[in-house]
Amino acid sequence: MDKFENEQMKDYVTPVINLSKAPGERQAWGRPAIVVYLWSAIELLFIYNPWQISSAVRVAALRAFGARIGEGVLVRQRTRVKFPWNLSIGDNCWIGEGAWIHNQNRVDISNDVVISQETFITTGSHALAADMALITRPVIIEEGAWLATRSIVLGGVRVGRSAVISPNTVIPPNTTIPENSIVGLPMIQVSKKRFPYEDLGAK
């Protein structure tokens, strides 16, 4: 920043957004308030509750509130799901302990996907330079993908077929992870192919 810019910035006051006027509250609920409140109670008792050990009970509760869940799905303790009516899970998926699916928009999980412990998937963000209005984008996780422990996936992300997200990796909004890739720290990049091409019959 040069001297002229310094002079211009001297009297500049960084703005603060009044959150009491931020639009978007309840717009993403998708159900009447009574259903949302009832779901919050059911989630606490039957989904998140570490003393409730039955995956079948969790799956049944999620389905009862509109989640589309395939066969052979395991959902472990301390899982959280914001709105089950925005959730689709294919067959033979594993949802690890403490996973949090904050789905104010659609989250579609295909077959044979692993969501490991403490992974956070969120579809929501805010208009940070305007009025902090709620912005939501769907998250798509294709078949065979693995989101390793404590990874974070933000709105608009598509994780490709059989891709692996390494532990503690943050996938930025609107990112597409190529299929058959392993991505992770220190930056979002493809480190190698999961399955060598020669094993896939490539010439």
Polymer length in residues for the chain: 203
Alpha-carbon radius of gyration of the chain: 20
Is 180 a domain residue? yes
Is 4 a domain residue? no
- Give the C-alpha separation, 123 to 135, whole Å: 8
Is 21 a domain residue? no
Query: What are the pLDDT digits (tens) for 146-181?
Result: 999 999 999 999 999 999 999 999 999 999 999 999
Is 193 a domain residue? yes
In percent, the amount of the chain with pLDDT more than 90 equals 73
Is 83 a domain residue? yes
Is 57 a domain residue? yes
Please, which pLDDT band fits residue 14 given cuts at 50, 70 and 90?
confident
Residue with tokens 């969120």: 122
Q: CATH number of the domain that 196 lies in?
A: 2.160.10.10
Instruction: Check pLDDT > 80 for residue 11.
Output: no
Q: What pTM does this model have? A: 0.87
Owning domain of residue 59: 30-200
Domain count across the chain: 1
* Beta strand residue intervals within the chain, DSSP E: 68-69, 74-75, 80-81, 87-89, 94-95, 100-102, 107-109, 114-115, 120-122, 124-126, 134-136, 139-141, 146-147, 152-153, 158-159, 164-165, 170-171, 176-177, 181-184, 187-193
The chain-wide mean pLDDT, for the chain, equals 91
Is 149 a domain residue? yes
Query: What are the pLDDT digits (tens) for 117-148?
Result: 999 999 999 988 889 999 999 999 999 999 99
Is 16 a domain residue? no
